[in-house]
Amino acid sequence: MLPNFGMGTFRLSGPALTDLVTEAIDIGYRHVDTAQFYDNEADVGKALAQTDSSDVFVTTKVWYERLKYQQVLDSLKESSSKLQRDCIDLALIHWPSPHDEVPLEETLDALTEARERGLIKHFGVSNFTVDLLNRAVNHVGADNLLTNQIEVHPFMQNRKVTKACAEHGIKVTAYLPLAKGAVMDNSTLQRIAVEHDASPAQVAIAWELHKGYVSIPSTTKVSHLRSNFDAQQLQLTDENMADIEALDQRDRLIDPSFAPDWD
């Protein structure tokens, strides 16, 4: 199923990304997250092809301008080709269709068809509000939605949506876990890091994992790939967790013009 830890690839591309993904797989990463919009699926695919990656879980996302029924199927075929995978492990609706221009139900039906055709193994959603998540559940059932990938970090804990996901039994995948590096400068996270002989980034990742979320940090440095991976071993105390919970400022960093009306 969906591994709780993986490598994000947002804003990464080219041979450097291929090298990073190759290194990540060598380190032990078994989950790589990409998207059609990142324009780097082919770079990820090269790494998958040149490594022993049969057990690596691959997530991609369908861009919001390609949510009509046939567009979904066609775009996933393209993604499959670029990723050099006969079957993609997980496909997400990257963003809900603005103003419901393409009905959500149509896109979900297309993803169901993609799964039946063997293009994908699982599907889910991303950047979905509570109302949109409920609507998706009403159409396909919670058992068919593997995850809702949303912005979550110590300063944006997205409590309403994470609670709704928990109630439906849908995994939360937390993107931007390091808040674009802001976790490194926070005194609370720095203090906890010293306590555990770790880095603030590792503390932020460990907090997400302790919450039961899927964490997908991205980095341009191999050394950070390793330290992020090692964060899986970090055991935070209940007091640490409470201190991090208190950092929530609802500080959303990703809010494009086509975003839904957030909770």
Confidence grade of residue 237 (pLDDT, cut at 50, 70, 90): very high
**CA–CA distance, 229 with 28 (Å, rounded to integer):** 8
Give the model's pLDDT for residue 152. Answer: 98
**CA–CA distance, 189 with 207 (Å, rounded to integer):** 10
Superfamily per CATH, domain 7-179: NADP-dependent oxidoreductase domain (3.20.20.100)
Confidence grade of residue 241 (pLDDT, cut at 50, 70, 90): very high
Give the model's pLDDT for residue 98. Answer: 97
Give the active site residue among 29, 38, 175, 213.
Answer: 38
pLDDT tens string 126-181: 999 999 999 999 999 999 999 999 999 999 999 999 999 999 999 999 999 999 99
**CA–CA distance, 158 with 148 (Å, rounded to integer):** 12
pLDDT tens string 14-29: 999 999 999 999 999 9
**Which amino acid, one-letter code, is at 28?**
G
Give the model's pLDDT for residue 231. Answer: 98
pLDDT tens string 180-225: 999 999 999 999 999 999 999 999 999 999 999 999 999 999 999 9
Give the model's pLDDT for residue 39. Answer: 98
Task: Based on the residue annotation, tell me whether 38 is a catalytic residue of this protein.
Answer: yes
pLDDT tens string 145-155: 999 999 999 99
pLDDT tens string 39-87: 999 999 999 999 999 999 999 999 999 999 999 999 999 999 999 999 9
pLDDT tens string 83-115: 999 999 999 999 999 999 999 999 999 999 999
Give the model's pLDDT for residue 11. Answer: 93
Residues 6 or more apart in contact with residue 136 via CB below 8 angstroms: 104, 108, 125, 128, 145
**CA–CA distance, 186 with 180 (Å, rounded to integer):** 12
Sheet holding 31-33, edge to edge: 7-8, 31-33, 57-62, 88-93, 120-126, 147-151, 171-175, 214-215
Nearest residue to 97 (alpha-carbon basis) of 62, 60, 134, 149: 62
DSSP H helices, the chain, are: 14-27, 41-49, 69-83, 104-116, 130-140, 159-168, 187-195, 200-210, 222-230, 238-245
For residue 49, give Cα distances in angstroms to 42, 60, 96.
Answer: 10, 16, 31
224 marked as binding residue: no
**CA–CA distance, 28 with 39 (Å, rounded to integer):** 24
Give the model's pLDDT for residue 230. Answer: 98
Give the model's pLDDT for residue 109. Answer: 98
Given a contact cutoff of 8 angstroms between Cβ atoms, the answer to whether 56 and 30 are in contact is yes
DSSP 134-175: HHHHHHH-GGG--EEEEE-BTTB--HHHHHHHHHHTPEEEEE
Give the model's pLDDT for residue 27. Answer: 97
**CA–CA distance, 170 with 152 (Å, rounded to integer):** 15
Give the model's pLDDT for residue 7. Answer: 98
Question: What does the pLDDT average to over 30-40?
Answer: 98
Confidence grade of residue 259 (pLDDT, cut at 50, 70, 90): very high
